[in-house]
Amino acid sequence: MNTILTGDRPTGKLHLGHYVGSLKTRKEMQDDPNNNLFVMIADIQALTDNAKTPEKVSSNVLEVALDYLAVGLDPKKTTLFIQSQIPELSELTMYYLNLVSVGRVRRNPTVKSEIEQKSFGEGVPTGFFIYPVSQAADITAFKANLVPVGEDQKPMVEQTQEIVHSFNSTYQKVLVEPKGVIPDKGLGRLPGIDGNGKMSKSLNNGIYLADSKDIVDKKIMSMYTDPNHIHVQDPGKVEGNMVFTYLDVFAQDKAYVQELKEQYQKGGLGDVKIKRYLIDVLDEVLTPIRARRQELAQDPQYVMDLLKDGSLAAEKIAAQTLDEVKTAMGINYFH
């Protein structure tokens, strides 16, 4: 039996990069009866760099929940919950903070590069600086043994392992050491439609699960291909051509994609033609997701109620762990 915990910061709707990088795997994990899956909307973590604009976070909680349900995460099988509704997570964070030195958080490579990327102006918020410790609380509260995350989250899992060791050796063996599961999708991260690095909201190069067919078709038509492939009869490049990159990921008929590639490289195959094919391929993936999303979006109260139920169930488990933690530390005074 595996206990799996993962989550997303609610700072925007989820896109195809999330779909291939994590959502698809989560759905598969959910459907394996040996797994107990927890998926968390990490609003506390999102607030660590959005404290002055909390509505940017709160307004995206429902959007992310809609994306989860649309791709087939099923609240009957998976506990879907909101981080801020589990106060035990913040309490655990306080105790764990004393087991981690300032020097150690400063060395976390992901936090380090995020601090460089984000222009924090007057200073790095302390909550942002220590978010890996809060993430350790998320993971250990559920005694998760597996944490499926992207490459950039590996340092968070390592830091959690250190906290678990430190806690278990200092007090009592209460916490479970988690293992990171990095998706080995061959491709790694899906690049954006402009071919400029990964798909991301800040680069404005994403195809969203919530996008209408019209918008998706337009985005595909504007995709980065081979800038030197000007006339249909010109030989074209397949490497770095986003249409082929996406076809490699999403098309079922690999032999046909291979045929198209050869034709394109020889010359005689136009961009519009390959884009039209990608439109069909992505249509097949996105139409059922979009339909489910639109239907659920009609009833936000129903979705929020699901999250409330999930949060109540999650809190029970976190409260049990917190109780064990306090007992191990000898601070359960009124027991």
Residues that bind ligand TRP (CB under 6 A): 5-9, 42, 45, 135, 138-139, 147, 149, 153
Minimum CB–partner distance for residue 271 and ligand TRP (Å): 34
Tell me whether residue 6 or residue 50 sits nearer to ligand TRP (CB atom): 6
Tell me whether residue 7 or residue 191 sits nearer to ligand TRP (CB atom): 7
Tell me whether residue 7 or residue 206 sits nearer to ligand TRP (CB atom): 7
Tell me whether residue 137 or residue 247 sits nearer to ligand TRP (CB atom): 137
- Rounded Cα distance between 138 and 121, Å, is 29
| Strand pairing category for 35-41 and 179-181 | unpaired
Minimum CB–partner distance for residue 58 and ligand TRP (Å): 16
- Rounded Cα distance between 2 and 145, Å, is 6
Tell me whether residue 46 or residue 306 sits nearer to ligand TRP (CB atom): 46
Bridge partners (DSSP) listed for residue 15: 208
**CA nearest to 191, candidates 17, 329, 64, 332:** 17
CB 166, CB 96: distance < 8 Å: no
How many residues does this entry show for the chain?
335
Minimum CB–partner distance for residue 95 and ligand TRP (Å): 17
Which secondary-structure segment (H or E) carries 8? strand 2-8
Minimum CB–partner distance for residue 99 and ligand TRP (Å): 18
Minimum CB–partner distance for residue 240 and ligand TRP (Å): 27
Cβ burial, residue 314 (10 Å; 0-12/13-18/19+) = buried
Minimum CB–partner distance for residue 42 and ligand TRP (Å): 4
Read off the DSSP letter of residue 11: S
Tell me whether residue 73 or residue 149 sits nearer to ligand TRP (CB atom): 149
Which secondary-structure segment (H or E) carries 277? helix 271-297
Token pair belonging to 242: 């986003």
- Give the nearest residue (CB) to ligand TRP: 42
Tell me whether residue 177 or residue 283 sits nearer to ligand TRP (CB atom): 177
- Rounded Cα distance between 231 and 311, Å, is 56
CB 46, CB 63: distance < 8 Å: no
Minimum CB–partner distance for residue 90 and ligand TRP (Å): 13
Minimum CB–partner distance for residue 281 and ligand TRP (Å): 27
Tell me whether residue 5 or residue 216 sits nearer to ligand TRP (CB atom): 5
Going from the C-alpha of 328 to that of each of 101, 142, 143, 282, 314, the distances in angstroms are 21, 17, 15, 52, 21
- Rounded Cα distance between 252 and 139, Å, is 35
